[in-house]
């Protein structure tokens, strides 16, 4: 039977592939943002979504590639699958919102990382399986048009898909995230997808599928007006599952994350990306902290507060005779949404002319600031995410020391409930040891505060001295009496905490790194272990085992992966030699996919270390990577017709190795911040270009083995995505936190060398 694609116009096929690629990119970013909140802002969600996205897409691509020859009417399949694709996205967004209700966990408790990863794995199946299959069906449509043959078919499909992803990434970054909620964004993008599908069907002379797609388009356009209402209902279900005692008062999305205000009795709590930031009003804890901090310096006049000032800390600071307070809060929406619920005294503190509010990343502010401070207070949550961990690294502490005046004091802190528990002690010891590397004197309070400075007699946790200093200021406060320090700072407790931390630093084994840096974020990794302990997972030992991973372990892994190349090369028959070469092609493509995903995540870490956020940039970053994929495939399609394939493979492979080295050294680069932004964007583009170029080369290599175009598209695309899946799973959760950036780049480089070597040997024997 003649397939229906022979009647289809090139522009209709290209348009359908473009809108499908764009829709898949929008879907990926929307789901990443939704999972980001469920994972409490932890970047593990990026790796989990990217990994399982790639895995299921590869499965869909491979499955469709297996049945590609049996698809006689690919346009009908393409239309039906796109209608299912649109439906799946809308359903999956809602299911992510209410996902906490699927787990038997107490109110407010953590869901284990493994449970959330499994849920992510299951939930993404629908969108990704269909998306992977659509790539192969699109290639089948191209093949059925009988205008293209051989390597042209998968290459053209790959380029169209990548360009669509570029368009989707730009749309979600500059339009959807800024103006729409997730449901409205899903309905708008679904309407575009189905309109392109209807065009494809009608251009192929298929009126019924075209009419169905057209009706679905109209339905999605109508539903856009109800997107906000549906989003509100989903939000209420989401927070009800978190804690039935809380009442959702208000929620909004900003470019930096999701913000929610919840009410319990007479108290309002601010949540950022699903994590509690602070509660208001709080008449006790912030006032005690403010007095403890201010009394660490004999005459604090210039003060920098990074985060946490809205909870009452600013109010307490302003009771002293200060001259200038800089308050840094990255997201202006946090202050805007909180103003409605603050006590009048806290609102007055914000409006005090002494207080200067800066909506900028704290690290960026510190690195660019020329003012010197008597006191720097960093009131941020624990290093539970990579973005917050940046404020607990040796690099940040060194920057802080540079802006402190003589006798200046720096104060930060972590959760204190477990100075004695193994997992918390390990995390807290890491922060303590990192502080000790940057400052000559560090003392820890039982409440979790770390007070650091020069060899300075003014820093103290002696209750008698603190009471004397308070009285010397001549202050009288209705909500604070200095004698509370005798309860909060019992001498035995202070001594025990500091001795415990000092012993832990002294006796930590070499297998457990302590110093937390931008390129080696060990405190963040130890916090993942804490998360698993509190979620009562049965797999906590796995994280303890991963701490012991070493760089050289990649060598036996590489040997196992190359073993099939050796075994298949022993067979003299032509068919076996073909299998030998085919495996090396797929293996090289898989390692190229791993390289691409690793580079993308490594660049995300680097960008976040400098600018402090990636939430609003995901679409743009992925769009640039996809642009690189398309550009690499286009350029190599042209060069492969004129130069030897194997020589080009070596050039691209060596380029990837050099690029790994560049990524490893990025944290040491000292350049203007504006230039670093352009360097980051270009690096993201170049990483995609290398992977796209390798894909194009492997399609030409596959052609020499007589693979059918649509089959090679499925197999190579699946290998690319399978490798990317492994890269996404390991880069952010194992390689970078445990080995550090340089060692992680070395591991990926060794895998590239092995894959290139296997490919060259196979090609010579074949």
Domain harbouring 43, CATH code: 1.20.1250
Please check whether residues 496 and 581 belong to one and the same domain. no
What is the bridge-based pairing of β-strands 449-453 and 404-413? antiparallel
pLDDT tens-digit map of 450-474? 999 988 778 899 999 999 999 998 8
The span from the CA of 395 to the CA of 213, in Å, is 55
> Hey, is 268 helix, strand or coil?
strand
Find the helix packing angle between 574-611 and 741-765, rounded to 10°. Answer: 160
Q: Which of 139, 145, 4 is nearest to 72 (CA)?
A: 4
For the chain, how many residues are written?
Answer: 766
> Of the given ranges (292-296, 474-478, 505-509), which has the lowest mean pLDDT?
505-509
Q: Is residue 253 part of a domain?
A: no
Three-state secondary structure along 188-225? Answer: HHHHHHHHHHHHHHHHCCCHHHHHHHHHHHHHHHHHHH
Classify 374 as helix, strand or coil: strand
Does residue 535 lie in a domain region? no
User: What angle separates helix 207-223 from helix 74-97, to the nearest 10 degrees?
Assistant: 20
- Whether 272 shows a pLDDT value over 80: the answer reads yes
**Nearest CA to 183 among 240, 223, 126, 127?**
223
pLDDT tens-digit readout, 709-748: 656 767 887 888 889 888 888 887 777 777 778 888 888 8
Q: Give the sheet arrangement for strand 449-453, strand by strand.
A: 355-358, 324-328, 302-306, 373-378, 404-413, 449-453, 441-444
* Exposed e or buried b per residue across 54-72, where buried means at least 16 C-beta atoms within 10 angstroms of its C-beta: bbbbbbbbbbbbebbeebe
Q: Count of domains in the chain? A: 3
Pair (590, 640) in one structural domain: yes
CB atoms within 10 A of CB 440: 11
Q: How confident is the model at residue 48 (pLDDT cuts 50, 70, 90)?
A: confident
Look at 719 and 512; give whichever has higher pLDDT. Answer: 719
What pLDDT, on a 0 to 100 scale, did the predictor assign at position 219? 93
Q: Which structure tokens are listed for 19?
A: 């809108």
Residue 532 within any structural domain of the chain: no
* Beta-carbon-side half-sphere exposure of residue 689 (alpha carbons within 13 Å): 13
User: Beta strand pairing status for 404-413 and 302-306?
Assistant: unpaired
Closest CA to 248 of 257, 261, 233: 261
Tell me what pLDDT residue 735 has: 78
406 and 487 belong to one structural domain: yes
**Which residue range forms the structural domain that includes residue 395?**
278-519
Alpha-carbon distance values, 1 to 4, 66, 70, 144, 741 (Å): 9, 19, 11, 12, 55
Is 90 exceeded by the pLDDT of residue 88? yes
Q: Are residues 340 and 451 in the same domain?
A: yes
Q: Is residue 538 part of a domain?
A: no
Residue 269, domain member (yes or no): no
Question: For the stretch 536-561, what's the b/e string if a residue is b when 16 or more beta carbons lie within 10 angstroms of its beta carbon?
Answer: ebeebeebeebbebebeebeeebeeb
The whole-number pLDDT of residue 2 equals 44
**432 and 498: one domain?**
yes
To the nearest 10 degrees (0 to 180), the angle between helices 113-123 and 10-38 is 160
- 604 with 457, same domain: the answer is no
494 in a domain, yes or no? yes
Same domain, yes or no, for 401 and 497? yes
Residue 724's H or E segment, with its range, is helix 709-730
* Distance between CA atoms of residues 349 and 319, nearest Å: 10
Torsion of CA 212, 217, 221, 222, to 10 degrees: 0
Given 499, 519, 539, the domain boundary residue is 519
User: CA end-to-end span of the chain, whole Å?
Assistant: 36
Average predicted confidence (pLDDT) for the chain: 84
Task: Summarize the confidence of residues 160-164 as an average pLDDT.
Answer: 86
Give a yes or no: residue 257 inside a domain: no
Q: Is the dihedral of CA 704, 708, 709, 715 positive or negative?
A: negative
d(CA 448, CA 308): 15
Residue 370 has pLDDT above 90, yes or no: no
Q: Within 10 A of 12 (CB to CB), how many other CB atoms are there?
A: 20
User: What would the 3-class secondary structure string for 227-246 be?
Assistant: HHHHHHHHHHHHHHHHCCCC
Backbone angles phi and psi of 234, in degrees to 5: -65, -40
Residues 107 and 52 placed together within one structural domain of the fold: yes
Does 566 lie in the same domain as 472?
no
Residue 451, domain CATH: 3.40.50.150
Predicted local distance difference test score (pLDDT) of residue 292: 94
Q: Is the pLDDT of residue 658 over 50?
A: yes
Domain co-membership, 505 together with 435 = yes
Residue 610, pLDDT above cutoff 80? no
Q: What is the pLDDT of residues 187-231, one digit of tens each?
A: 999 999 999 999 988 888 888 888 999 999 999 999 999 988 888
Is the pLDDT score of 5 beyond 60?
Answer: no
User: What CATH number did the domain enclosing 723 receive?
Assistant: 1.20.1250.20
Looking at the fold, whether 553 and 504 belong to one and the same domain comes out as no
Domain-located, residue 261: no
* CB contact at 8 A, 331 and 294: no
Say yes or no to pLDDT of 419 above 60: no
Q: 399 and 330, same structural domain? A: yes
Structure tokens belonging to residue 249: 């008062």
Burial pattern 637-674, b for ≥16 Cβ within 10 A else e, equals: bebbeeeebeebbeebbeebbebbeebbebbeeeeeee
8 Å CB contact between 3 and 148:
no
Q: Dig out the tokens for 10 from the structure.
A: 């090139």
Over residues 691-701, the mean pLDDT reads: 87
Secondary structure E strands in 379-538 = 404-413, 441-444, 449-453
Distance CA 166, CA 654 (A): 26
Task: Find out whether 617 and 607 touch, Cβ atoms under 8 Å.
Answer: yes
What's the rounded Cα separation, in Å, for the pair 356 and 564?
Answer: 64
Rg (CA), the chain: 28
Q: Quote the percentage of the chain above a pLDDT of 90.
A: 33
């Amino acid at each position: 039977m003649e397939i229906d694609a022979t009647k289809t116009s090139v522009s209709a096929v290209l348009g359908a592939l473009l809108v499908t690629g764009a829709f898949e990119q929008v879907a990926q970013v929307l789901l990443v943002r939704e999972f980001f909140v469920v994972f409490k802002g932890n970047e593990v969600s990026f790796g989990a979504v990217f990994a399982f996205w790639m895995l299921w897409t590869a499965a869909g691509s491979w499955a469709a590639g297996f049945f590609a020859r049996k698809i006689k009417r690919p346009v009908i399949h393409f239309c039906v699958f796109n209608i299912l694709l649109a439906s799946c996205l809308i359903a999956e967004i809602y299911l992510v919102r209410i996902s906490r209700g699927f787990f038997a966990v107490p109110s407010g408790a953590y869901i284990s990382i493994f449970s959330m990863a499994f849920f992510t794995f299951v939930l993404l199946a629908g969108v990704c399986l269909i998306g992977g299959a659509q790539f192969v069906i699109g290639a089948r449509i191209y093949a059925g048009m009988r205008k293209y043959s051989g390597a042209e078919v998968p290459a053209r499909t790959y380029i169209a898909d990548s360009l669509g992803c570029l368009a989707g990434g730009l749309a979600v970054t500059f339009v959807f995230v800024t103006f729409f909620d997730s449901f409205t964004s899903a309905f708008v993008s679904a309407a575009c997808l189905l309109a392109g599908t209807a065009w494809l069907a009608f251009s192929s002379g298929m009126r019924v599928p075209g009419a169905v797609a057209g009706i679905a388009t109209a339905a999605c356009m109508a539903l856009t007006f109800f997107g906000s209402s549906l989003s509100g209902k989903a939000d209420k279900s989401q927070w009800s599952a978190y804690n039935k005692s809380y009442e959702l008062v208000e929620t909004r999305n900003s470019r930096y994350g999701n913000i929610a205000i919840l009410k319990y009795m007479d108290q309002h709590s601010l949540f950022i990306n699903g994590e509690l930031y602070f509660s208001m009003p709080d008449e006790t804890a912030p006032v005690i902290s403010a007095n403890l901090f201010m009394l660490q310096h004999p005459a604090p006049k210039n003060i920098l507060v990074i985060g946490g000032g809205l909870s009452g800390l600013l109010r307490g600071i302003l009771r002293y005779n200060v001259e200038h307070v800089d308050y840094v809060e990255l997201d202006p929406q946090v202050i805007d949404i909180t103003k409605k619920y603050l006590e009048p005294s806290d609102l007055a503190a914000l409006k005090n002319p002494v207080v200067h509010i800066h909506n900028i990343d704290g690290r960026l502010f510190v690195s660019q600031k020329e003012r010197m401070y008597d006191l720097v207070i960093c009131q941020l949550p624990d290093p539970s995410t990579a973005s917050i961990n940046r404020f607990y690294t040796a690099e940040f502490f060194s920057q802080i020391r540079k802006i402190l005046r003589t006798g200046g004091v720096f104060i930060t802190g972590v959760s204190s409930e477990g100075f004695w528990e193994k997992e918390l002690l390990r995390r807290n010891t890491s922060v303590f040891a990192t502080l000790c590397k940057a400052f000559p004197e560090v003392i820890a309070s039982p409440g979790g505060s770390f007070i650091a400075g020069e060899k300075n007699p003014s820093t103290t946790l002696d209750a008698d001295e603190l009471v004397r200093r308070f009285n010397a200021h001549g202050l009288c406060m209705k909500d604070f009496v200095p004698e509370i320090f005798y309860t909060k700072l019992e001498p035995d407790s202070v001594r025990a905490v500091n001795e415990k931390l000092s012993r832990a630093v002294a006796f930590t084994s070499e297998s457990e790194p302590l110093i937390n840096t931008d390129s080696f974020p060990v405190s963040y990794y130890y916090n993942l272990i804490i998360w698993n302990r509190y979620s009562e997972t049965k797999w906590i030992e796995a994280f303890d085992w991963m701490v012991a991973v070493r760089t050289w372990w990649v060598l036996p892994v590489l040997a196992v992966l190359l073993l099939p190349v050796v075994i298949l090369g022993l067979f003299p028959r032509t068919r076996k030699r073909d299998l030998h070469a085919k495996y090396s092609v797929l293996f090289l493509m898989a390692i190229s996919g791993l390289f691409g995903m690793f580079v993308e995540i490594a660049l995300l870490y680097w960008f976040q270390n400098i600018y402090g956020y990636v939430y609003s940039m995901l679409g743009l970053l992925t769009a640039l990577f996809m642009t690189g994929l398309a550009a690499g495939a286009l350029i190599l399609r042209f060069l492969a017709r004129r130069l030897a394939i194997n020589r080009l493979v070596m050039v691209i492979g060596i380029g990837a190795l050099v690029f790994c080295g560049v990524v490893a050294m990025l944290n040491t680069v000292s350049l203007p911040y504006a230039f670093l932004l352009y360097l980051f964007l270009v690096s993201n583009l170049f990483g995609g270009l290398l992977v796209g170029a390798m894909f194009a080369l492997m399609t030409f290599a596959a052609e020499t083995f007589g693979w059918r175009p649509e089959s090679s598209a499925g197999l190579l695309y699946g290998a690319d995505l399978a490798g990317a899946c492994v890269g996404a799973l390991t880069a952010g959760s194992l390689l970078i936190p445990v080995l550090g950036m340089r060692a992680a780049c070395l591991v990926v480089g060794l895998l590239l060398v092995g894959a290139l070597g296997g490919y060259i040997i196979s090609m010579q024997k074949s």
